[in-house]
């Protein structure tokens, strides 16, 4: 029988009182300049501009906050401001209200990132901005650039003394991908650390800024009801899914060399796995949280390359229908090789060899041009040891705790209940809690992460050794697939849930993918 959803109206209780002193104004809202490399790009307009406008609207950053954009495109200061304002208006969801105004100081410098003169002009511009405001000379350097540009930018920031201001701090934000493989990931870490200390480096993964992802910490470690069950005694398996309806758009140049494993697994999906599987940290602080995530990655069993089909499935989308519209296959996308072997879908089984999770498989899948846009974590619990009601109702469904990350953020718990009546009938019901019931708007993630950079909080950012461990985990998959190209691509139609081989992958283990 179909499941029934039981609505849950939360009663929000006030937080416990905090006797700590209120932080001073400069500590709470430190004045700083955000220097964006690649300022004319899509990331700046779609993600950074709305986030900055929201933070200023809410009074979360200093009124002396300033922006300096650098890119090759020619623009005046006024044109750059208009570019950011247009992005803030266009990409602010209606649920978040109107975006705020941009800061009074918005500057733009056009030039080549390999030109030393550009950094001299940047230094002069920063001196002008910082000389007009009180307080420290704080700087955030944001790399909204292709990864191959990062080493050049970092080198010149060091050579010109921009990474170590006389008064205040300097921090660098690096977007994924963090390298192309394990060796390039190590090289990138070495290049960053040649100029910046690890405490100055913020490797950003926007998934960690999502409210639902942060709430995994609270769900697990603030509620006594869940944590005792969060282990191999009670959990049968875990499924983590990020499905997308979009194709690659205009990103063929990047995606052809990356594929789904580099694009999604090495960063977003392994981060979700770590948050789900990690041990309780000694404190909710950067070093403690990131140390526990590294332990999870170190515990993942290496996938044997000669038996890759027992651990992973790959796919590539063909033509199909998404949202009622016909869409092309991957090989028909602009600038894609007509015989491309790049995977756009992957399903992987991970085994975590530690005391808590031994014997519990983690099934992780992600793909483009799938039927729905959904991201979720599902913890499926073991069935009861004795089928007490088997004669009356047959096989009971397992209990499932689902954390919905997008698009409808929330948590639901599925359990069985008796239907009223004289006959023993049992039906699955859901206790469902959507986050929008808390009343506060759910932000996109970059707001929280940018704010954490201004405060020097690295809890939701990736540490250098964490990046290298994640590459170690996915490297066998990459080597096996790149050494043996697929012969059946494309093997799933756009608008479906992926290749049929992915269904058989779970069926042979007596399980099935959950309906997203």
Active site residues: 268
Cα-based distances in Å from 80 to 44, 69, 75, 106: 11, 8, 6, 8
DSSP for residue 370 = B
Q: Around Cβ 431, how many Cβ atoms within 10 Å?
A: 14
Cα-based distances in Å from 91 to 95, 440, 501: 11, 19, 37
Task: Establish how many alpha carbons lie within 13 A of residue 488's alpha carbon, considering only the half-sphere containing its beta carbon.
Answer: 9
Assigned token pair, 220: 């697990």
* Angstrom distance (rounded) from CA 53 to CA 65: 11
Q: Which residues pair with 170 in a beta bridge?
A: 139
**Strand 410-418 to 426-434 pairing:** antiparallel
Task: Give 70-91 as a DSSP string.
Answer: EESS---HHHHHHHHHHHHHHT
Among residues 312, 323, 310, 367, which one has the least CA distance to residue 492? 367
Query: Rounded to the nearest 5°, which phi and psi values hold at 325?
Result: -120, 140
H/E element, 197: none
Burial of 165 (0-12, 13-18, 19+ CB in 10 A): middle
* Angstrom distance (rounded) from CA 441 to CA 96: 6
DSSP for residue 162 = T
- Residue partners of 124: CB distance under 8 A and separation at least 6: none
Cα-based distances in Å from 129 to 74, 107, 119, 137, 139: 21, 10, 15, 9, 11
* Angstrom distance (rounded) from CA 264 to CA 248: 13
Cα-based distances in Å from 295 to 218, 275, 463, 475: 20, 11, 12, 18
* Angstrom distance (rounded) from CA 328 to CA 39: 31
Task: Give 346-360 as a DSSP string.
Answer: EEEEEEB-STTTTT-
* Angstrom distance (rounded) from CA 260 to CA 313: 12
* Angstrom distance (rounded) from CA 511 to CA 509: 6
H/E element, 191: helix 182-193
């Amino acid at each position: 029988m179909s499941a029934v959803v039981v609505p849950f109206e939360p009663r929000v209780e006030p937080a416990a009182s905090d006797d700590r002193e209120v932080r001073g104004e400069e500590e709470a809202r430190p004045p700083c300049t955000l220097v964006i490399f690649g300022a004319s790009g899509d990331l700046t307009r779609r993600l950074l501009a709305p986030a900055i406008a929201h933070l200023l609207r809410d009074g979360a950053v200093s009124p002396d906050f300033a922006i300096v954009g650098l890119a090759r495109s020619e623009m005046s200061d006024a044109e750059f401001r208009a570019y950011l304002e247009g992005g803030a208006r266009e990409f602010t969801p209606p649920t978040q209200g109107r975006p705020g105004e941009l800061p009074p100081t918005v500057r733009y410098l056009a030039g080549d990132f390999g030109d030393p003169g550009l950094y001299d002009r940047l230094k002069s511009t920063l001196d002008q901005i910082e000389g007009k405001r009180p307080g420290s000379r704080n700087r955030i350097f944001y790399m909204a650039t292709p990864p191959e540009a990062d080493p050049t930018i970092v080198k010149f920031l060091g050579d010109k003394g921009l990474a170590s201001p006389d008064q205040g701090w300097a921090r660098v934000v690096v977007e994924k991908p963090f390298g192309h493989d394990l060796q390039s990931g190590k090289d990138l870490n070495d290049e960053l650390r040649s100029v910046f200390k690890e405490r100055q480096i913020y490797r950003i993964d926007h998934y960690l800024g999502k409210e639902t992802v942060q709430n995994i910490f609270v769900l697990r470690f603030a509620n006594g009801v869940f944590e005792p069950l969060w282990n191999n005694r009670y959990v049968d398996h875990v499924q983590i899914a990020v499905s997308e309806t979009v194709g690659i758009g205009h990103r063929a140049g990047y995606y052809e060399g990356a594929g789904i494993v580099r694009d999604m697994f090495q960063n977003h999906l392994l981060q979700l796995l770590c948050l789900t599987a990690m041990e309780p940290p000694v404190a909710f602080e950067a070093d403690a949280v990131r140390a526990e995530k590294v332990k999870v990655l170190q515990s993942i069993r290496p996938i044997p390359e000669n038996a890759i089909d027992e651990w992973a499935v790959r796919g590539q989308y063909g033509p199909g229908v998404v949202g009622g519209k016909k869409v092309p296959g991957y090989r028909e996308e602009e600038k894609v090789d007509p015989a491309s072997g790049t995977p756009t879908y992957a399903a992987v089984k991970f085994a975590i060899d530690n005391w808590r999770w031994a014997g519990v498989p983690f099934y992780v899948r992600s793909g483009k041009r799938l039927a729905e846009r959904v991201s979720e974590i599902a913890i499926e619990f073991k069935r009861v040891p004795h089928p007490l009601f088997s004669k009356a109702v047959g096989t009971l469904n397992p209990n499932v705790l689902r954390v919905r990350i997008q698009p409808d953020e929330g948590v639901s718990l599925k359990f069985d209940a008796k239907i009223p009546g004289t006959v023993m009938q049992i039906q699955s019901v859901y206790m469902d809690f959507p986050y929008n019931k808390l009343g506060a708007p759910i932000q996109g993630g970059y707001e929280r992460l940018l704010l954490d950079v201004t405060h020097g909080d690295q809890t939701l950012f990736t540490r250098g050794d964490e990046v290298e461990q994640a590459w170690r985990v996915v490297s066998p998959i990459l080597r096996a697939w790149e050494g043996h190209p697929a012969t059946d691509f494309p093997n799933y139609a756009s608008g479906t849930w992926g290749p049929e081989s992915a269904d058989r992958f779970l069926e042979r283990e007596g399980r099935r993918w959950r309906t997203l």
